[in-house]
Amino acid sequence: MIKSAYIHIPFCEHICHYCDFNKVFLKGQPVNEYLQAMDEEMKLSLAAYPATKLETIFVGGGTPTSLNEKQLSQLCESITRRLPADGQVEFTFEANPGDLSKEKLAIMKQAGVNRLSLGVQTFNDELLKSIGRVHRASDVFRTVEHAKAAGFENISIDLIYSLPGQTLTDLKETLQQAYTLDISHYSGYSLIIEPKTVFYNLMRKGKLPTPGEDIEAAMYELVMEEMDRHGFVQYEISNFAKPGFESKHNLTYWNNEEYFGFGAGAHSYIDGWRRSNSGPLKKYMEHIANGVLPVFEEHHVSRAEKMEEEMFLGLRKNEGVSVMKFIEKFQEDPLKLYENQLNDLIEKGWINVSENAMKLTKKGRLLGNEVFQSFLGVSND
Ligand code: SF4
């Protein structure tokens, strides 16, 4: 039974220099019509794939908090009316610091939102400017203070390291500031330069002073050490939490479980099918106006692919892939199926294997993708 839903709000008031997410510039967009269409999509989808009770709802973007108060109320009302959930649900909103007025916080709280995920990236104002963010460090402190005053106890922030011009000392300072917020969860990602971004063009012209691989690896080690020192348990390659505050929603993905995805360009995984919705707003809304689900692409996941996914998604978690769960799901022993690959990875010092679980080592975490690739194409079922 599906336990999770992702809802996509593709609007942003500014476009950041590194961003390749599925988003559009807010000004002039048919936001009200989009919210209406998404309401309809939830209705159509839940009629086709009934769910009894969701355990996680995640509203991401884009920037969900770029909606005005009326639109935010409309969205919250839609979600609570259409999606089956109770007080136990982990209900997350992504937000940009500076976007969260007291009124917006009250609307979310009233609707049952109980987790906020803020796109902070760094506390260095110069770096924030240079990556095209419009908020400043002071906005983060104010936003977190207001969120706490509004009753939000489960707050996460995203940080990005290996930014152009960033030094290890900068990152250390950012982490020091981050811990003063007294919150329960941090995500720390290294910057990836994606095609079609401002940064990509600068990089091609040789004008992007990224710190380089060695500093990047040192930054990741610093993040892991500092998180550990401050009592945050690393539970995934890039995620750290106080015990009990791990993101249940993201664990759905890493546990290779199914989920709904609503909105333009959103992805879903239902009854063994991975689907993506049409991305352009007009196309997305046309489908809905015609009374059909706005599916752009779909792919039935074969048993072999499911096993691969179980490995490379599960290995992202620090607890690794459970051997028992793998056998329960696929009636196949992964220690036998992947014997050669595992032996090779053990020899390289990238993976640890016990009879209960397969886990990345610290070195393996630094090389994630290289390890994951080992499991592709092993089974042909
Ligand atoms: S606010 Fe987020 S989604 Fe929007 S452009 Fe910046 S990084 Fe991308």
The model's pLDDT over 257-276, given as tens digits with 9 standing for 90+, comes to: 999 999 999 999 999 999 99
Cα 133 to ligand 1 centre (Å): 8
Over residues 149-160, the mean pLDDT reads: 98
Q: What are phi and psi of 273, to 5 degrees?
A: -110, 125
Maximal C-alpha separation, the chain = 58
Kindly state whether residues 342 and 229 are assigned to the same domain.
no
As a three-state string, the secondary structure of the chain is: CCCEEEEEECEECCCCCCCCCCCEECCCCCHHHHHHHHHHHHHHHHHHCCCCCEEEEEEEECCHHHCCHHHHHHHHHHHHHHCCEEEEEEEEEEECCCCCCHHHHHHHHHHCCCEEEEEEECCCHHHHHHCCCCCCHHHHHHHHHHHHHCCCCEEEEEEEECCCCCCHHHHHHHHHHHHCCCCCEEEEEECCCCCCCHHHHHHHCCCCCCCCHHHHHHHHHHHHHHHHHCCCEEEECCEEECCCCCCHHHHHHHCCCCEEEECCCCEEEECCEEEEECCCHHHHHHHHHCCCCCEEEEEECCHHHHHHHHHHHHCCECCCEEHHHHHHHHCCCHHHHCHHHHHHHHHHCCEEECCCEEEECHHHHHCHHHHHHCCCCCCCC
Please check whether residue 105 lies inside any domain of the structure.
yes
Over residues 186-196, the mean pLDDT reads: 95
Cα 96 to ligand 1 centre (Å): 9
Q: Which residues fall within 8 angstroms of residue 89, CB to CB, at 6 or more apart? A: 54, 55, 56, 57, 112, 114
**Domain end (from 254, 280, 304):** 254
Kindly state whether residues 103 and 241 are assigned to the same domain.
yes
Kindly state whether residues 213 and 327 are assigned to the same domain.
no
Please check whether residue 263 lies inside any domain of the structure.
no
Spatial distance between the Cα atoms of 132 and 191, rounded to a whole number of angstroms:
14
Residues 116/184, Cβ–Cβ less than 8 Å = no
Is the beta carbon of 154 within 6 A of some atom in ligand 1?
Answer: no
* CA-119 nearest atom, ligand 1: 2
Is the beta carbon of 23 within 6 A of some atom in ligand 1?
Answer: yes
CA 195 centroid distance within chain: 20
Please check whether residue 277 lies inside any domain of the structure.
no
* CA-14 nearest atom, ligand 1: 5
Please check whether residue 286 lies inside any domain of the structure.
no
Cα 199 to ligand 1 centre (Å): 14
Kindly state whether residues 224 and 355 are assigned to the same domain.
no
Name the average pLDDT for the chain: 96
Residues 20/196, Cβ–Cβ less than 8 Å = yes
- The pLDDT-based confidence of 7 (bands split at 50, 70, 90) is very high
Kindly state whether residues 232 and 344 are assigned to the same domain.
no
Cα 366 to ligand 1 centre (Å): 26
Is the beta carbon of 197 within 6 A of some atom in ligand 1?
Answer: no
Kindly state whether residues 244 and 362 are assigned to the same domain.
no
Number of structural domains the chain divides into: 2
Cα 281 to ligand 1 centre (Å): 17
* Inter-axis angle of helices 303-314 and 323-330, nearest 10: 160
Is the beta carbon of 119 within 6 A of some atom in ligand 1?
Answer: yes
Please check whether residue 312 lies inside any domain of the structure.
no
pLDDT of residue 368: 83
- The pLDDT-based confidence of 381 (bands split at 50, 70, 90) is low
Q: Which two tokens stand for residue 286?
A: 């046309």
> Taking 90 as the threshold, does the pLDDT of residue 306 lie above it?
yes
Cα 16 to ligand 1 centre (Å): 5
Could you list the residue range(s) of the whole structural domain that residue 355 is in? 320-373
Q: Which two tokens stand for residue 358?
A: 């397969």
pLDDT of residue 298: 98
Q: What is the CATH number of the domain that holds 54?
A: 3.80.30.20
The partner residues of 90 in beta bridges, in order of sequence, read 56
Please check whether residue 89 lies inside any domain of the structure.
yes
Over residues 49-64, the mean pLDDT reads: 95
Ligand 1, atom 5: nearest CA belongs to which residue?
15
Please check whether residue 378 lies inside any domain of the structure.
no
Spatial distance between the Cα atoms of 286 and 289, rounded to a whole number of angstroms:
5
Cα 19 to ligand 1 centre (Å): 6
Cα 269 to ligand 1 centre (Å): 24
Over residues 59-88, the mean pLDDT reads: 96
> Taking 90 as the threshold, does the pLDDT of residue 291 lie above it?
yes
pLDDT of residue 270: 97
Mutation probe of ligand 1 site: the residue of 12, 66, 93, 133 with most atoms within 8 A of C-beta: 12
pLDDT of residue 377: 84
Spatial distance between the Cα atoms of 373 and 358, rounded to a whole number of angstroms:
15
Residues 90/57, Cβ–Cβ less than 8 Å = yes
**Domain end (from 220, 254, 288):** 254
Is the beta carbon of 21 within 6 A of some atom in ligand 1?
Answer: yes
Is the beta carbon of 62 within 6 A of some atom in ligand 1?
Answer: yes
Please check whether residue 293 lies inside any domain of the structure.
no
Ligand 1, atom 7: nearest CA belongs to which residue?
19
pLDDT of residue 52: 86
pLDDT of residue 81: 97
> Taking 90 as the threshold, does the pLDDT of residue 378 lie above it?
no
pLDDT of residue 379: 76
